[in-house]
Amino acid sequence: MNDAVKMDTPSATQSDVDFDAIIIGAGVSGLYQLYRARELGLRTRVFEAGPNVGGTWYWNRYPGARFDSESWSYGYSFSQELLDEWDWEEHFAGQPETERYLNYVADKFDLRRDIQFNAVVAAAHYQDDNHSWKITLDDGSHCTARFLITAVGVLSAAVMPRISGTDSFKGQSCHTHNWPTEPVSFEGKRVAVIGTGATGIQAITEIAKTAGHLTVFQRTAQWSAPLHNSKVTPEEMADIRKNYTDIFARCQETVGCFIHAADPRAALEVSEEEREAFWEQRYSEPGFGIWMGNFKDVLVDAEANQLMSDFLARKIRERVTDPAVAEMLIPKNHGFGTRRVPLESGYFEVFNQPNVKLVDVNENPIKCVTPDGIQTSDADYGFDIIIYATGFDAITGAFDRIDIRGVGGTSLKDKWADQPVTFLGIMVDGFPNFMMVMGPHAGLGNFPRAVEYTADWVAELIGHANTRNVTRIDATADAANAWTDHVVELNDGLLFTEVDSWMTGINRNVDGKDVRRIMRYSGGHPAFRRRCEAVSQGGYQELSMD
């Protein structure tokens, strides 16, 4: 074993491996999985590509980066002491506050001593002769572990656009995910932002406040709604603290683990006045209520969805003074909520500013980046700074970037080439002792709630195996196929499956990601929990154990 990976004394039961468990990633998932692994007494090592903890909240330090989940519903729930100690400053925390929070957690639970930073996992190969994984870092060092747990995030493999000349640009440029740690000044600068997803919308709103001139290159307009962020007063924090038990219980019972649950009424069964009043109310309230707490038919019934989209189009027309610009900002190729809804804090008004220009790249495609700026089909733009808010190779991208091989050398990337196949979104048949916290087929939503549940389930499974001297756990092919069929069926009738987005596996900047696939579990967290509990309480009959 290479020196870069330090080893503790092997335990009697697992003396043939360097570690009981390797976790990839020290973000929200990896930190908690490490905490649980420690409780089990596992000799654990976390490999983290970055120089510090935080994952998403370490890397995405672009201006305006913040939660769209209520902060106090997003924090960890597992430690009463932590809940008692941590005061949230904003209802929707910005990246610096969240990064501070995750550092606080790492320090409080003394997690860093088991984390190796700047450690990029290049390969992980299963070795059936001793039921272990051989993990190799990109510096060539390697080690072995009984269990391999991925906590690599859903949106961590950043992707640059397929535009030629990006390297030739003489000014400053970066992808929002790789934002520098030192402050960037936009004062008096000519700035370009390419991309108008959740990230672009946050960054554009903030950068427009100080940029000399900002040009936004938009390919797909978004149905975005107000965030309504505010400071948390001491009185509110005291109230939140009193109610944590109820808050987390509520999150467990909603589809996306948010505090917001769908309204039991259908948009089409109430009067027009009632509908409009409800939507006005949702539009004026903080957070995802407008998406997750909307009428129950808005995301499944095309007519209801059209009415909701019309409502939001009217809002955009009210807020944007130039009617031609307003029309450019109104999505035409998808309905409300069928892509991830970005929440905004004055985004549409940005386009009323004299220092901001919106360019539709469908009308005027970007031809290339030049040393001085960007050339489109109809103009040459000079820039000092170019920002790529072009998103991620979502969900499977971080897996694809590691050479993961299961029994017989089967590559995970190849196995998933057409469609991810998983068991509970946690295991993959033919990849024994391999567990994913928030892999493909996990439910998407208020991330830490699902993370805590999944990491607990994984820890319970490993505990079950260890107490029975089981050294090899694999999902059966039947179980994985049945689960995958179930995940696919759940998408019938959901409007979002008919739309290109990272949630349907589309990324036009990545080879092979141009066909829609079922990437996430759409049955909702309560149903997911019931499925997982049925497996654990049933004695893990869907798994083979030796």
398 binds ligand NA7 (CB under 6 A): no
Nearer to ligand NA7, 489 or 514 (CB): 514
Q: CB count, 10 Å around CB of 482?
A: 13
Least separation in angstroms between CB 518 and ligand NA7: 18
Place of tokens 């690599």: 152
Return the number of the residue (256 or 432) whose C-beta is nearest ligand NA7. Answer: 256
Residues 479-508 that bind ligand NA7 (CB under 6 A): 502
With contact defined as beta carbons under 8 Å apart, do 114 and 48 qualify?
no
**In the bound complex, what is the minimum distance in angstroms from residue 520's beta carbon to ligand NA7?**
12
Q: How many residues bind ligand NA7 (CB under 6 A)?
A: 22
The CB-of-340 to ligand NA7 minimum distance in angstroms stands at 4
Return the closest-CA partner of residue 194 out of 12, 428, 361.
361
Write out the binding residues for ligand NA7, residues 237-256 only, by CB under 6 A.
Answer: none
Instruction: Compare residues 30 and 161 and give the one whose CB is closer to ligand NA7.
Output: 161
55 binds ligand NA7 (CB under 6 A): no
Residue with tokens 């050339």: 375
How far is the C-alpha of 505 from the C-alpha of 495, rounded, in Å? 15
Distance in angstroms (rounded) separating the CA atoms of residues 421 and 539: 22
**Range in contact with ligand NA7 (rule: CB under 6 A) among 72-80, 193-201, 252-260, 263-271:** 193-201
- Kindly state whether residue 215 participates in binding ligand NA7, applying the rule CB under 6 A: no
Give me the DSSP letters along 15-82.
TTSSEEEEEE--SHHHHHHHHHHHHTT--EEEE-SSSSS-THHHH--STT-B-SS-HHHHS--S-HHH
**For ligand NA7, the closer CB: 362 or 536:** 362
What is the spatial distance between Cα 488 and Cα 517, in angstroms, rounded to a whole number? 9
521 versus 540: smaller Cβ distance to ligand NA7: 521
Residue 220 touching ligand NA7 (CB under 6 A):
yes
Q: How far is the CB of 96 from ligand NA7 (least distance, A)?
A: 17
Nearer to ligand NA7, 72 or 179 (CB): 179
Using CB under 6 A, which of 14, 116, 196, 471 touches ligand NA7? 196
- Give the residue with the Cβ less far from ligand NA7, 19 or 223: 223
| Cα–Cα dist 298/388, whole Å | 32
Pick between residue 44 and residue 507 the one whose CB is nearest to ligand NA7: 507
**Interacting residues of 191 by C-beta distance below 8 A, sequence separation 6+:** 207, 211, 212, 213, 214, 215, 383, 384, 385, 386, 387
- Sort 70 into a burial class: Cβ within 10 Å, 0-12 / 13-18 / 19+: buried
Q: Which residue is it, tokens 């090592």?
A: 45
**The only residue of 241, 296, 340, 413 in contact with ligand NA7, by rule CB under 6 A:** 340
Q: Tell me the three state secondary structure of residue 169.
A: coil
Q: For residue 219, state whether it binds ligand NA7 (rule: CB under 6 A).
A: yes
CB atoms within 10 A of CB 275: 20
Residues 129-188 that bind ligand NA7 (CB under 6 A): 155, 161, 163
For the bound state, the minimum distance from the C-beta of residue 89 to ligand NA7, rounded and expressed in Å, comes to 21
Using CB under 6 A, which of 197, 331, 430, 443 touches ligand NA7? 197
Binding site for ligand NA7 (CB under 6 A): 155, 161, 163, 194-200, 217, 219-220, 340, 361, 366, 389-392, 502, 509
